Amino acid sequence: MLNIFKTIVTKLGGIDTSESNHIDTYTEEKINTTEGTKIASSKNNGGIWISFQELAGYEYMNITVIGANNMKNFNGCILNFMNNETISLQLNSDTREIESNFSNVSNRWITDISFDITNSNIDVIKNNTASYIKLEYKKKFEIFDILKP
């Protein structure tokens, strides 16, 4: 019924306000001005950006994932730093509810996730010993190649 009403309004010269025609400048601006350091990239012009912060004596790593997949999950995710098929570091997200935002301008998804980490985890990440990152959520995963300095 709502679709019929939108069609009639559009035909009479009204504005089509459906989401598919909406230009999402907010999400696109967030994608273009991602905070942190880019540590990994994907073949779809995406990647992983990280930043570290300390809150109440605990260390956190915040990541921003820009990719081709929508991550909607209430059980968190797992971030694996991999060498060949061997896991050099595995982190479980502190963020349990994960939801991506879509930009119809660049046709990509942006997702913010937080991880509780230790100083030794930070050293492994900064030493960049892994060759790729595997981000697992639900029964899906996305692969990102680590950028070498």
pTM: 0.77
| From 24-28, 39-43, 125-129, 131-135, the region with the lowest mean pLDDT | 24-28
Nearest to 95 by CA among 112, 110, 109: 112
Percent of the chain with pLDDT over 70: 78
Residue 3 clears pLDDT 80, i.e. is over it: no
Residue 26 clears pLDDT 80, i.e. is over it: no
Nearest to 40 by CA among 107, 110, 135, 109: 135
The CA-to-CA distance between both ends of the chain, in Å, stands at 56
* Kind and range of the H or E run holding 8: helix 2-11
The top-scoring range by mean pLDDT among 1-10, 83-92, 123-132 is: 83-92
**Measured distance CA(112)–CA(53) in Å, rounded:** 14
More confidently predicted of 100 and 2: 100
Residue 45 carries which DSSP code?
Answer: S
Give yes or no for a contact between 61 and 75, defined as CB atoms under 8 angstroms apart. Answer: no
Residue 100 clears pLDDT 70, i.e. is over it: yes
Residue 69 clears pLDDT 70, i.e. is over it: yes
Give yes or no for a contact between 17 and 9, defined as CB atoms under 8 angstroms apart. Answer: no
